[in-house]
């Protein structure tokens, strides 16, 4: 019987490994940037085309490679980072598996140019699908240049699974941010389709963060610093008033390596307990330095998750250091009594001396005397006159009660009804609000119970969708335009969405690379809600803007409806309740909210009768 198990060819094994290492163009960007950092480069350029699908090129001025190393680096499990198994627990570099370049070369066209400083000539290699096409000697500058073209050209199925250019570009930017923020001492430049996206000169951590996110980033950062035997903590956290709905500006770095940790994130949120609005997420850029032998970074294929030896102690130290910084910089609230500003001395009187009051006393005053001795005080201390014939006060009262409104109870007539017909009409309510959450409206067969938040979402959703379709949105002009600051990537999203936002009622007075100026807003929104609406919209579009216009408008309408809808716990007047119910049943699809949740239920009289049945 023939053998069933066979060894896979190298090119097939490389393609399988590529499925784990290379998921999208951003994966190639990550591997090449980390290799450039490990090569001790001080200047790194990232060049991509079509969000990395056509080209990902990384140029550095690092150590470079010899002719032998240039050929050997594309072999599987060939690495300069480790020598033995024990090195896995004392890592000081980024990559160490030795599969990245071999995997990339198996699914793309790769061109590498490299030269060491002490050599006169360098090496030029061309590889297509793991096959070496050419290897030549060339005149090159010091360092290495990797150009990865036509990613997944020989695996069409994988290429078809890639998202739109906007989505893939967003992932590339994320990887670029993570490497550049971890190494502020390196000069990074980033080009996309020939346009310069970022130019980050060597600087400190704070300046690198400001260069990335621009706007008012500098004034919202609170530094944190703590040094213990277990960990050294440096970095910055954001002030609570700058917290956003999304979790975009949250970074953990351990030994200059970006990681994700829900456990450490919980420690940060615990430090902000009580000073953040519900659902808000603070910004943080936290750099942790721990002994390499106390962590295991080989528990996840992308190395973004780390196992710590003493997680509980690290949690407590991180939480305490953030709390200390927030209190030290007067960000966290302090224990103090509330002061009433109305009790403060008015400005015009604060420097004046108070006048001493004078007291006048009549030493001859006798309350038991028949007459007041001093006529000056007579009016103040005159005893009331007593009517001798007190019953005369009520003479004729019986005939005048109809004219005296305040004493009609003396001559009240008994009627057959407690209320007049006009009073009944005034006291009948068409709707009732229950627990500031539901609106009850009677109908012929029983009653309708409406969820006020979901109902308002449906009303706003259809209004926004109609406005964006017919381009007839109404705006309310602001007396003072609003300046809103965003990061570079957020500004790109806003630029792509600007036309659709204008169709919903926004008026953009000015748009720059770092901020926008809004002079008009939709009629069903307020000035204080503008930043909330845009932040929620950017958070909902983190994975990219839909390509079709209808899907794009639909996403924007849903996001804005979610932000502007009346929330559970809001009191509504009777008129507001009626308008909301009438608006809901005037919609094309009143049964569900934009998120496919029921907006109302009906309860018949028969259902109520069953509840009372014995």
Residue bearing tokens 């896979």 = 8
Q: Can you name the residues that pair with 48 across neighbouring β-strands?
A: 56, 192
Which residues, listed in sequence order, are joined to residue 149 by a DSSP beta bridge?
55, 109
The yes-or-no verdict on residue 565 having pLDDT over 70 is yes
Are residue 182 and residue 281 in the same domain, yes or no?
Answer: no
Long-range contacts of 378-385 (CB under 8 A, 24+ apart): none
pLDDT of residue 90: 54
pLDDT for res 454: 93
Are 54 and 103 within one domain? yes
DSSP code string of 98-136:
S-HHHHHHHSSEEEEEEE-TT-SSEEEEEEETTEEEEEE
Residue 269 lies in a domain: yes
CA distance 502 to 473: 8
pLDDT at 146 over 90: yes
Give yes or no: residues 191 and 246 share one domain.
no
Q: Name the more confident of 410 and 62.
A: 62
Q: How confident is the model at residue 552 (pLDDT cuts 50, 70, 90)?
A: confident
- Do 178 and 244 belong together in one domain? no
% of the chain at pLDDT higher than 70: 76
The CA distances from residue 120 to 66, 136, 139, 353, in Å, are: 11, 14, 8, 88
Shared-domain flag, residues 158 and 256: no
pLDDT reported for residue 415:
44
pLDDT tens, position by position, 189-244: 999 999 898 899 999 999 999 888 876 788 889 999 999 988 999 999 998 888 87
Question: 420-469, pLDDT tens digit by residue?
Answer: 444 334 434 578 889 889 999 888 888 899 999 999 999 999 988 888 87
Domain with 94, as residue range(s), is 10-200
Question: Which pLDDT belongs to residue 375?
Answer: 52
pLDDT tens digits, 374-402:
555 444 445 555 555 555 555 555 554 44
Same domain? 534 vs 581: yes
- Mean pLDDT along residues 248-273: 89
pLDDT recorded at residue 296: 76
Q: Are residues 52 and 17 in the same domain?
A: yes
Q: Is residue 354 part of a domain?
A: no
How do 284-289 and 250-254 pair as beta strands?
A: parallel
Cβ distance 97 to 302 under 8 Å?
Answer: no
CATH value at residue 227: 3.30.230.10
State the pLDDT confidence band at 543, using cuts at 50, 70 and 90.
low
In whole angstroms, what is the distance from residue 18 CA to residue 103 CA? Answer: 4
Banded model confidence at residue 12, pLDDT cuts 50, 70, 90: low
Q: Residues, the chain, total?
A: 614
Residue (of 89, 92, 94) closest to 293 by Cα position: 89
Give the mean model confidence (pLDDT) for residues 122-135. 90
Q: How many domains, in total, are found in the chain?
A: 3
Handedness of CA 129, 135, 136, 141 (dihedral sign): positive
> What is the average pLDDT score of the chain?
80
Give the tokens for residue 61: 């001025």
For the chain, give the percent of residues with pLDDT over 90.
28
pLDDT at residue 416 above 70?
no
Is there a single domain that holds both residue 313 and residue 174?
no
Q: Does the pLDDT value for residue 418 go beyond 50?
A: no
According to the model, what pLDDT value does residue 137 have?
A: 92
- Asked whether residue 26 carries a pLDDT value surpassing 60, the answer given is yes
**Mean of the pLDDT values across residues 109-133?**
91
Residue 412 clears pLDDT 60, i.e. is over it:
no
Q: Is 443 exposed, middle or buried (0-12, 13-18, 19+ CB in 10 A)?
A: exposed
Residues β-bridged to residue 33: none
Q: How many CA atoms lie within 13 A of 9 on its CB side?
A: 7
Task: Please name the residue that has the structure tokens 């009051």.
Answer: 357
Choose one of 155, 173, 200: the last residue of a domain.
Answer: 200
Winning range, highest mean pLDDT, from 178-192, 233-247, 526-540? 178-192
Of 139, 174, 200, the one marking the end of a domain is: 200
User: Cα separation of 364 and 374, whole Å?
Assistant: 8
Q: At what angle do helices 165-182 and 488-504 cross, to 10 degrees?
A: 140
Six-digit token string for 495? 């630029």
Residue 226 and residue 180 share a domain: no
Beta pairing class for 43-49 and 221-227: unpaired
The secondary structure of 443-465 as a DSSP string is ETTEEEEEEHHHHHHHHHHHHHH
The Cβ of residue 43 has, within 10 Å, a number of other Cβ atoms equal to 16
Same-domain check for residues 168 and 287: no
- For range 543-548, the mean pLDDT: 60
Mean pLDDT is highest, among 9-18, 253-262, 332-341, 485-494, for 253-262
* CA–CA dist 118, 490 (Å, integer): 44
The per-residue pLDDT for range 321-378, each reduced to its tens digit, is: 999 998 887 665 555 455 555 555 555 555 666 677 778 887 787 777 765 555 554 4
> Which two three-digit tokens encode residue 406?
């305040």
CATH classification at residue 88: 3.30.565.10
pLDDT of residue 514: 77
Higher pLDDT, 296 or 121: 121
Element (H, E) at 612: helix 605-612
114-143 average pLDDT score: 91
pLDDT of residue 429: 53
Whether the predicted pLDDT of 187 surpasses 70? yes
Q: Give CA–CA dist 485/249, Å, rounded.
A: 14
Q: How far apart are CA 26 and CA 43, in angstroms?
A: 20
| Range of lowest pLDDT (100-109, 167-176, 539-548) | 539-548
8 Å CB contact between 214 and 490:
no
* Residue 206 in domain: no
Q: Do 489 and 528 belong to one domain?
A: yes
Task: Looking at the structure, tell me whether residues 138 and 282 fall in a common domain.
Answer: no
Region 44-62 average pLDDT = 94
Answer with the one of 200, 235, 254 that is the final residue of a domain: 200
Distance CA 169, CA 553 (A): 21
Tokens describing residue 41: 């480069």
* Maximum separation of any 2 CA atoms in the chain, in Å: 140
Mean predicted confidence (pLDDT) in 274-292: 87
């Amino acid at each position: 019987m023939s053998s069933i198990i066979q060894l896979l060819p190298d090119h097939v094994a490389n393609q399988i490994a590529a499925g784990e290492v290379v998921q999208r163009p951003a994966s190639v960007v990550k591997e090449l940037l980390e290799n450039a950092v490990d090569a001790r480069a001080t200047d790194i350029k990232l060049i991509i085309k079509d969000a990395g699908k056509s080209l990902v090129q990384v140029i550095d001025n690092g150590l470079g490679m010899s002719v032998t190393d240039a050929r050997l680096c594309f072999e599987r499990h060939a690495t300069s980072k480790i020598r033995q198994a024990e090195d896995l627990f004392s890592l000081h570099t980024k990559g160490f598996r030795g599969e990245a370049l071999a995997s990339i070369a198996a699914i793309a066209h790769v061109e590498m140019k490299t030269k060491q400083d002490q050599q006169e000539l360098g090496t030029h290699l061309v590889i297509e699908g793991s096959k070496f096409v050419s290897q030549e000697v060339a005149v090159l500058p010091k360092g290495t240049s990797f150009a990865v073209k036509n990613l997944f050209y020989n695996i069409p199925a994988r290429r078809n699974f890639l998202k739109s250019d906007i989505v893939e570009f967003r992932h590339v930017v994320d990887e670029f941010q993570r490497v550049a923020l971890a190494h502020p001492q390196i000069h990074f430049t980033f080009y996309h389709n020939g346009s310069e996206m970022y130019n980050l000169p060597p600087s400190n951590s704070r300046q690198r963060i400001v260069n990335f996110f621009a706007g008012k980033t500098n004034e919202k950062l609170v530094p944190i610093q703590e040094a213990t035997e277990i960990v050294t903590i440096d970095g910055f956290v954001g002030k609570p008033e700058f917290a956003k709905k999304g979790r975009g500006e949250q970074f953990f770095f351990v030994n200059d390596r970006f990681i994700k940790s829900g456990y450490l994130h919980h420690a940060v949120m615990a430090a902000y307990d009580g000073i953040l609005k519900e659902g808000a997420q603070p910004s943080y850029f936290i750099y942790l330095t721990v002994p390499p032998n106390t962590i295991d970074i080989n528990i996840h294929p992308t190395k973004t998750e780390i196992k710590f030896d003493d997680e509980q102690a690290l949690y407590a130290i991180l939480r305490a250091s953030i709390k200390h910084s927030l209190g030290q910089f007067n960000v966290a609230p302090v224990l103090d009594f509330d002061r009433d500003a109305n009790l403060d001395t008015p400005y015009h009187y604060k420097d004046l001396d108070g006048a001493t009051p004078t007291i006048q006393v009549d030493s001859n005053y006798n309350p038991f005397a028949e007459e007041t001795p001093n006529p000056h005080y007579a009016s103040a201390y005159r005893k009331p006159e007593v009517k001798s014939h007190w019953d005369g006060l009520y003479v004729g009262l019986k005939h005048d009660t109809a004219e005296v409104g305040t004493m009609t109870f003396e001559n009240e007539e008994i009627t057959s009804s407690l209320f007049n017909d006009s009073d009944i009409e005034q006291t009948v309510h068409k709707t009732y609000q229950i627990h500031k959450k539901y609106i009850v409206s009677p109908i012929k067969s029983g009653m309708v119970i409406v969820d006020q938040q979901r109902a308002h979402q449906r009303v706003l959703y259809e209004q926004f969708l109609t406005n964006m379709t017919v381009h007839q949105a109404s705006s309310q002009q602001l007396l003072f335009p609003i300046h809103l600051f965003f990061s570079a990537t957020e500004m790109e999203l806003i630029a792509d969405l600007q036309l659709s936002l204008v169709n919903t009622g926004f008026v953009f007075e000015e748009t720059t690379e770092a901020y926008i100026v809004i002079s008009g807003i939709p009629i069903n929104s307020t000035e204080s809600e503008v930043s909330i609406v845009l932040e929620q919209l950017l958070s909902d579009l983190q994975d990219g803007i839909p390509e079709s216009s209808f899907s794009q408008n639909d996403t924007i309408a849903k996001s804005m409806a979610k932000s502007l809808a009346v929330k559970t716990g809001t009191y509504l007047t009777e008129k507001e309740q009626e308008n909301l119910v009438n608006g809901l049943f005037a919609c094309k699809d009143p049964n569900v909210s934009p998120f496919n949740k029921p907006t109302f239920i009906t309860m018949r009289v028969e259902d109520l009768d069953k509840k009372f049945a014995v």
